[in-house]
Amino acid sequence: MQYRELAVAGAWEITPQQFGDPRGVFLEWFKDAPFRDAAGHGLDLRQANLSVSAAGVVRGIHFADVPPGQAKYVTCARGAVLDVVVDIRVGSPTFGRWDSVLLDDVDRRAIYLPEGLGHAFMSLEDDSTVLYLCSSGYDPQREHGIHPLDPDVAVEWPTVGRDGRPLEPQLSTKDEAAPTLAEARERGLLPRFEDVQAYLATLDG
């Protein structure tokens, strides 16, 4: 397993070792020891999610109040998505920065983002199937979003799918109505960097 820290501090790209033979492929997509070495703490699994998305579907940018927030460890079991992490921590040296990882059924990478960061992805193929391990359960009262097409965040979403056809972003009604990053900051919805760091320091090492 290879870990590479992304441009947003605390977020990681994970590339597993795959073992293939005529029967198929086997891999470990999460392993506690190397995860702890990279992240500095364990992943307290409280919920596992699965989503299936048509080509062009954009989910996010989503985040949760800290504490407890919601850390996510994400992979794509079928198809392909561009997975994006956004630094929404007010006071962070990289506030507003984003980075991305291609998750697909070829390299079978995963992405980890800790509490306090924004998460989104775009499906590059019909029926792309994404699996999430989450550190806390869904709580609609503590969940928030930022518009994924916010020009100030300026995520470079793909315009062409895996099959070479043009992609048009498809958003849910909720994501379509989400505030911009600036609006979310003005409303006091965003986590503060020092609060996130203090909470992460309480997690087990």
Q: Which residues are catalytic?
A: 62, 132
Residue 32: C-alpha distances to residues 1, 28, 73, 171 (Å): 11, 10, 12, 34
**Using CA atoms, how far apart are residues 19 and 96, in angstroms rounded to an integer?**
38
Side-chain-side CA neighbours of 56 within 13 Å: the count stands at 10
Per-residue 3-state assignment (H helix, E strand, C coil) for the chain = CEEEECCCCCCEEEECCEEEECCEEEECCCCHHHHHHHHCCCCCCCEEEEEEECCCEEEEEEEECCCCCCCEEEEEEECEEEEEEEECCECCCCCCCEEEEEEECCCCCEEEECCCEEEEEEECCCCEEEEEEECCCCCCCCEEECCCCCCCCCCCCCCECCCCCECCCECCHHHHCCCCHHHHHHCCCCCEHHHHHHHHCCCCC
